[in-house]
Chain A
Amino acid sequence: DAGVTQSPTHLIKTRGQQVTLRCSPISGHKSVSWYQQVLGQGPQFIFQYYEKEERGRGNFPDRFSARQFPNYSSELNVNALLLGDSALYLCASSLFAVGPSYNEQFFGPGTRLTVL
């Protein structure tokens, strides 16, 4: 079975531009979470979506938005890019069902965004 897939793998943008990142979860998983990881730090939670609804939001500005589609894939949009948005953007897939074992999250390879 395919794991979590993300596209593109790398992206270079300039300040002020907008970017859209894409993620497809593991087959059968209905929840997608987005994380930002800057060099030398652990991933930081941005959003979680389940059944097309936002279920959690991290401490990120409104320039960050996301959505989930009926096939459970997801997009993360970042507007008005800043130099500080340069990071590895990770998508995680989970079942999001009752019981702690179903909260295991599996990460995709990430999109490495560089803002110049």
Chain B
Amino acid sequence: RKEVEQDPGPFNVPEGATVAFNCTYSNSASQSFFWYRQDCRKEPKLLMSVYSSGNEDGRFTAQLNRASQYISLLIRDSKLSDSATYLCAVNMGQAAGNKLTFGGGTRVLVKP
């Protein structure tokens, strides 16, 4: 089983709709969680950090469910510019070298 797993998609989303997708992680000792957005052939850009049960930033809401070991990302009122690959990353903390373990990404396509 992979340490961090994501549905690769693509999620085809009508403009203005809401889309949500999950990321599951296998290590219960994971300490912090992040969502990155990556455009084609570009670097990942930090979208949201999730340290407690959840976080909201404008149209984006991230939630953490430690009991079931997953985090979710919800995008409301989708824009064409939201089309990208969304990467989930898990950090095990400084004792584990502070490395980020990434999922394979979820591709989202917002269409007019």
CB-CB < 8 A to A104: which residues of B?
Answer: 34, 46, 49
Task: Flag the segment in A13-21, A53-61, A63-71, A72-80 that touches B.
Answer: A53-61
Q: List residues of chain A with CB under 8 Å of any chain B CB.
A: 31, 33, 35, 40-45, 48, 50, 55-58, 88, 90, 92, 94, 96, 100-101, 103-110, 112
A56, B105: Cα distance in complex, Å: 23
Please choose the segment from B12-20, B68-76, B95-103 that sits at the chain A interface, where 4 or more of its residues have CB less than 8 A away: B95-103
Chain B residue total in the interface (Cβ 8 A): 28
- Which residues of B are at the interface with A, using a C-beta cutoff of 8 A? 4, 31-32, 34, 36, 41-46, 49, 51, 87, 89, 91, 93-94, 96-105
Chain A residues, CB < 8 A from B4: 42
Given A33-B98, A48-B97, A55-B98 in contact, is the A106-B46 Cβ separation under 8 Å? Answer: yes
